[in-house]
Amino acid sequence: MLARVRHLPLLCLVLSLAIASSGCGRDDPDAASAGGARLRIGTTVAPITNIVANIGGDRVRITGIVPEGTNSHTFEPKPSVAELLAGLDVLYVNGLKLEEPTKELAADNLADDGEIIELGTLSIRPSEYAYDVSFPRSGGKPNPHLWTHPKYALKYAEIVRADLSRRDPDNAAYFAANLERFRAEVRALDKAMRTAFATIPRPRRKLLTYHDAYAYFGRDYGWDIIGAIQVANFEDPTPKEVARLIDQVRQTKVSAIFGSEVFPSPVLEQIGREADVTYVDVLRDDDLPGEPGDPEHSWIGLMRFDYVAMTEAMGGDAGALKALQAGDVAPDTASYPQ
């Protein structure tokens, strides 16, 4: 029997969770601090792992599957991951066709009562999908990077809270309290982002990146996403496309262009050099700063890191963002593959 995949509209999910009968996780030798067995949870990319950990805390057992610093779009799990999947109560994935090999392996190996829940797919309506050079509409895959926008990260957390409470009602109050603390953290981040970005003149808020992980963020925070150099097949652009990008950078008077710390881009460096703009090669979209256990090794630490880098490269004041305290609202006991 294949594992069930949850990809209903968000409203349907909320209604179903509200009326669903509660269920307990399988026996586990590690007992939760509130007593009883901990739910066994799998996650994919590190930001999702951390969001789930912020809600589940020490009442769940979380194992990440996609190693940090890996291209999550092309990552294929080793066959040995099947054993891990077979023991899970639930696997939280982003969805929106980000982790298809992992999802396929899970569908074949999760226990009959195991579920795959697509947090991203549940958090956005198809009418809100973003398409771009890395994710063209013709390819049928929308941009999946919702978690770089605070409002979608909060939706992920809300879905996790509802699902964990359904599975483990004895700890529902604990999960709810963690969600409220996480919600406060997200609100503080949103306020700091808006304060920092307001110090950048609106015409200067233009973003050209190696990989388009910020399409949704740009819509609500007043940034123009003018492009990404990584094309749909995740290869570098052709010389003709590079020349077009250089012209675009010159015409739009972009102040800086952004590469990835994880995936260095000689092409972006070339574009910056030829267009005479600053090249900042530190952004990351699913590789958390620091090491597991560090306060900055968290979703909010990732957001603070990226948006400080963007603000300062554009000549803005990132003081409000730097003042944010990185860290988790609940104990992060998750396993992060490196």
pTM summary value: 0.88
In the structure, what pLDDT confidence band is assigned to residue 234 with cuts at 50, 70 and 90? low
Task: Determine whether domain 200-322 maps to CATH 3.60.21.10.
Answer: no
To the nearest whole percent, how much of the chain has pLDDT over 70? 87
- CATH code that applies to domain 4-190: 3.40.50.1980
Q: Where are the domains of the chain?
A: 4-190, 200-322
Whole-number Cα distances in Å, 281 to 18, 256, 314: 45, 10, 14
Q: Identify the bridge partners of residue 37 per DSSP, sorted by sequence position.
A: 31
Q: Which helix (H) or strand (E) holds 58?
A: none
In the structure, what pLDDT confidence band is assigned to residue 332 with cuts at 50, 70 and 90? very high
Same fold, 4-190 and 200-322: yes
pLDDT digits (tens, 9 = 90+) for 14-60: 434 443 433 333 344 444 544 568 999 999 999 999 999 999 999 99
Considering only 48-62, 137-151, 159-173, which range has the smallest mean pLDDT? 137-151
pLDDT digits (tens, 9 = 90+) for 263-313: 677 888 888 999 999 999 899 989 999 999 999 999 999 999 999 999 999
116 and 79 in contact (C-beta within 8 Å)? no
